């Protein structure tokens, strides 16, 4: 497979030469493939086996995220990384056709399904269209004092990378018709790097929610064992201090015991660090399968007014979820249903709340 799936996540990036999500994705894929990764501030120093370096067409020692080796959407290196990450992921293609699509009531829906901050919106036109979506199935493994694994599914709009809540559960109710190999229509995008990167982030967020009880359990055990360890060493210290008054102790024995008492705090901290390591949770999320869907939708052209500025944007009403699809922040790519509008020169930006606070 050459155009779908993605494997994992989480690091930082440098403006202009790398995207934090892509660095995270690259680090995970390269590490799984036998590379050695070291974070250098907002870059990655990578040591690769010869065969992997050859496959990616990079040196065996390479620094990702700087001007010589940028990692950005649309870069050839990212395409090769995605091909590496997704080569073993099965994909099926299907179509959801509906005999009837909603024809009215969209002015209300764009106000109820989406929240517009400091903006007035109105529908200027409606048209029936087709959009492509992906349902990505991911397998997670959480390793700590115990092991927990399972599956999560995320649904995304392929064009924007927005997470479409409910799509992963509801699409099967519409009984899609599947395309046989070699007869997939050209509607499906070939380049999915941005959408896949977002899908894996959504999958990791879903995994965090699935593992909430597991994280809490490990944290409770850690607190219990740390408490018991501190109590043990406090009792041991009191006992050893009391023994210093024993009349049969020689001066050498007393000095040795005093030295051991001084070392107890360091020994206790080492034990606590061991416990923290024991209960640390490492989570691995891997894409396992994808269903790509061509869906009949309603496309709306909507006029957005912010102060004296106006802008036309496209919105999609999704008949599978029976809601308006979310948008994505035009700075960070996060999925948003609350849209903050900001002026950028003579234009309007559609932003998430955190990005709207950054000037």
pLDDT the model gives residue 339: 96
pLDDT of residue 85 exceeding 90: no
Distance in angstroms (rounded) separating the CA atoms of residues 330 and 116: 15
Q: For 47-62, what is the mean pLDDT?
A: 91
Task: Yes or no: say if 103 and 125 are a contact pair by the CB < 8 Å rule.
Answer: no
Query: Taking residues 259-270, what's their average pLDDT?
Result: 94
Among the ranges given (40-44, 177-181, 191-195, 249-253), the one the predictor scored with the smallest mean pLDDT:
191-195
From residue 44, alpha-carbon distances to 57, 68, 81, 85 in Å are 17, 13, 15, 18
Whether the predicted pLDDT of 320 surpasses 90: yes
Instruction: Report the pLDDT value the prediction gives residue 1, as an integer from 0 to 100.
Output: 41
Residue 97 structure tokens: 């056709």
Task: For residues 317-322, give the mean pLDDT.
Answer: 96
CB atoms within 10 A of CB 120: 10
Pick from 10-24, 159-173, 189-203, 331-345: least confident: 10-24
C-alpha distances (whole Å) from 254 to each of 79, 237, 244, 246 are 69, 14, 6, 9
pLDDT at site 175: 93
pLDDT at 318: 97
Q: How confident is the model at residue 70 (pLDDT cuts 50, 70, 90)?
A: confident
Under 8 Å between Cβ of 211 and 140: yes
Kindly tell me the burial class for residue 252, based on how many C-beta atoms sit within 10 Å of its own C-beta (0-12, 13-18, 19 or more).
Answer: exposed
Neighbours of 100 (CB within 10 A): 7
pLDDT at 86: 67
Averaged pLDDT, 229-250 = 91
Instruction: Say if residue 229's pLDDT is above 50.
Output: yes
Distance CA 312, CA 19 (A): 28
The more confident residue out of 103 and 28 is 103
Cα distances (angstroms) measured from residue 126 to each of 105, 136, 323: 11, 30, 15
- The contacts of residue 189 (CB under 8 Å, 6+ apart) are 3, 132, 158, 159, 195
Beta-carbon-side half-sphere exposure of residue 79 (alpha carbons within 13 Å)? 7
Mean pLDDT of 338-358: 91
pLDDT of residue 88: 67
- Average pLDDT estimate for 150-165: 95
């Amino acid at each position: 497979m050459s155009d779908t799936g993605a494997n994992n996540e989480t690091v930082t990036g440098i403006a202009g030469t790398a995207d934090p999500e892509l660095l995270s994705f690259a680090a995970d894929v390269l590490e799984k493939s036998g590379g050695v990764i070291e974070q250098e501030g907002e870059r990655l120093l990578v040591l690769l086996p010869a065969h992997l370096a050859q496959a990616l067409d990079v040196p065996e020692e390479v620094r990702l995220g700087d001007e010589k080796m940028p990692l950005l959407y649309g870069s050839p290196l990212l395409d090769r990384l995605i091909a590496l990450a997704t080569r073993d992921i099965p994909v099926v293609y299907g179509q959801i056709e509906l005999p009837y699509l909603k024809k009215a009531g969209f002015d209300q829906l764009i106000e109820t399904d989406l929240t517009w901050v400091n903006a007035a919106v109105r529908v200027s036109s409606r048209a029936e269209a087709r959009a492509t979506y992906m349902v990505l199935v991911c397998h997670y493994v959480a390793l700590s004092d115990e092991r927990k694994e399972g599956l999560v599914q995320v649904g995304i709009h392929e064009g924007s990378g927005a997470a479409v809540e409910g799509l992963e559960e509801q699409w099967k109710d519409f009984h899609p018709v599947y395309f046989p190999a070699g007869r997939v229509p050209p509607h499906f995008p070939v380049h999915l790097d941005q959408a896949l990167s977002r899908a894996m982030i959504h999958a990791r967020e879903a995994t965090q929610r699935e593992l909430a009880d597991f994280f809490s359990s490990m944290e409770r055990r850690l607190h219990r064992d740390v408490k018991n360890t501190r109590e043990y060493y406090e009792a041991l210290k009191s006992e050893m201090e009391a023994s210093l008054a024993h009349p049969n102790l020689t001066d050498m024995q007393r000095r040795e015991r005093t030295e051991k008492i001084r070392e107890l705090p360091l020994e206790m901290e080492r034990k606590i660090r061991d416990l923290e390591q024991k209960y640390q949770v490492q989570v691995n999320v891997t894409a396992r399968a994808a269903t790509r869907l061509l869906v009949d939708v309603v496309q709306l052209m909507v006029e957005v007014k912010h102060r004296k500025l106006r802008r036309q944007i496209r919105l999609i009403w999704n008949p599978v979820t029976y809601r308006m699809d979310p948008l994505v922040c035009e700075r960070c790519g996060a999925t948003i249903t609350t849209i903050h509008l900001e002026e950028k020169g003579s234009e309007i930006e559609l932003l998430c709340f955190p990005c709207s606070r950054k000037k």
